[in-house]
Amino acid sequence: SYVLTQPPSVSVAPGQTASITCGGNNIGSESVHWYQQKPGQAPVVVVYEETGRPSGIPERFSGSKSGNTATLSISRVEAGDEADYYCQLWDTSSDHAVFGGGTKLTVL
Amino acid sequence: EVQLVESGGGLVQPGGSLRLSCAASGFTFSTYWMTWVRQAPGKGLEWVANIKQDGSEKYYVDSVKGRFTISRDNAKNSVYLQMSSLRAEDTAVYYCAREHCGGGSCYSPAYGMDVWGQGTTVRVSS
């Protein structure tokens, strides 16, 4: 089955840029989405289809993809960005949705 | 306001059954694919199942295939998850989510989940 690999944790100082990666075989052929989940809350999509940003999501959140890796970048990180972040795609070969294992972002 | 509200969770014994419901409001429900995602305590998100607008296509994660059934009633703006032969490992918060329509097209569940409910908790234990 398709596997998306994320680092378990990323730490960044306030005001700096956080980069969270998501790796998977043939990820280049699928659309990758990113979700933010704060403790006790439902997930919220922050980037869809690699680079799309829903209304209400700050421009500080952006996505990119290169080769077999997708990246969520959060610029000018704030304390309120501390959360778990998940990547996700729809695997057209198996007709299954797949989530990465999640990355805990810590703001130092 | 666009909203999804789940209900039906609770405590059930191993081998038992439970039916989750998700009521949608604030958008044209029949236009969208709908999805169930779960999260076990302290764990990550796991996709469970999804269903096409007219119910003609349904997909399941392998671990629930044959035990769970997703369905929808567009007249009632609701999607359901019938769960049977429940196991301890099915214990989780279950979220209902709407699949985003990419580029104005809603024909595929490949565009991300743009609206989520608050979740309902299922606990399987004796």
Shortest Cα–Cα distance, A16 to chain B (Å) = 26
Of the candidates A30, A49, A89, which has its C-beta nearest B102's C-beta? A49
Of the candidates B50, B110, B118, which has its C-beta nearest A42's C-beta? B118
Q: What is the DSSP string of B42-71?
A: T--EEEEEEE-TTSS-EEE-GGGTTTEEEE
SS3 A27: helix
C-alpha torsion angle, residues B44, A93, A5, A12 (rounded to 10) = -80
Of A22-26, A103-107, B78-82, the least confident: A22-26
Distance CA B26, CA B30 (A): 12
Span A67-90, pLDDT tens digits: 999 999 999 999 999 999 999 999
**Could you tell me how many CB contacts below 8 A there are between chain A and chain B?**
68
Span B68-122, pLDDT tens digits: 999 999 999 999 999 999 999 999 999 999 999 877 678 888 999 999 999 999 9
Span B25-68, pLDDT tens digits: 999 999 999 999 999 999 999 999 999 999 999 999 999 999 99
- pLDDT for res A14: 97
CA distances in angstroms from B126 to B8, B10, B14, B83, B87, listed in the order given: 19, 13, 6, 17, 10
Q: Which residue on chain B is closest to A84 by alpha carbon? A: B44
Q: Does A85 touch chain B (CB under 8 A)?
A: no
Q: Does A57 touch chain B (CB under 8 A)?
A: no
